[in-house]
Amino acid sequence: GDQAGRLQVALAGGYGGVPGNLWTAKGGFDPKAAVASIALEAAKFQLDRLAPILARTPVVDYAKTSVDTKVQLEVTREGGKFTGEFHLYGLNVGHPKIADTEVHGLDLSGKIDGRFDRATRRLELTRGDFRTRDVPFSLTGTAAAPPKPPIVETPGVAVAALPINPATGRPRSSPMIGP
């Protein structure tokens, strides 16, 4: 096909200022058509590489904890879709709000598929197959953000429509305070 104007994406980075590359993003982007296809990958690594970040969290004994993930994103003007998988092995956590004693050896893996629609601001998880402690479970569902208020255009002026007060059915004239 015609590749004119299409940009190649090749990024790599880490987390929270920790040195080293822990993930990559590769693919293509067509700015004119506003479409992209990006493969994100964090190859398997031990969480001790994130020691400066994890030192301030409930995650403990993380030297042997490992994680990896792969996600494919397809994005258009209308929204996008994603598919991927992840694995987290040997997670250990310790915090009094989680449990009286540290919890060791937590594993979680999953395969996901879903899509996002910009117009409706809707995210749908169409596949969520997970496994923890050799117990499989599935989760699918939809989350949607409230619609944005419409923009009322007047020559030379753009004004956002005021939200409706549900108690009175009339537009709010000032910012909402409280419920």
Q: What is the tens place of the pLDDT at every residue in 84-98?
A: 999 999 999 999 888
Q: What is the pLDDT of residue 69?
A: 97
**Which pTM does this prediction carry?**
0.74
Strands (E), the chain: 7-13, 23-30, 35-46, 66-75, 79-93, 103-117, 122-132, 135-138, 141-144, 151-154, 157-160
Instruction: Kindly report which listed range (1-15, 17-31, 94-108) carries the lowest average pLDDT score.
Output: 1-15
**CA 143/CA 137 separation, integer angstroms:** 20
Q: What is the pLDDT of residue 22?
A: 94
Residue 1 — very low, low, confident or very high, per pLDDT cuts 50/70/90?
Answer: very low
Q: What is the pLDDT of residue 177?
A: 54
Residue 19: count of CB within 10 angstroms of its CB: 8
**CA 29/CA 116 separation, integer angstroms:** 18
Mean pLDDT computed over every residue of the chain: 88
Percent of the chain with pLDDT over 90: 67
Average pLDDT over residues 146-158: 70
34 half-sphere exposure, CB direction, 13 A CA radius = 6
Q: With a cut of 70, say whether residue 108 has pLDDT above it.
A: yes
Q: What is the pLDDT of residue 139?
A: 96
Higher local confidence (pLDDT), 148 or 124: 124
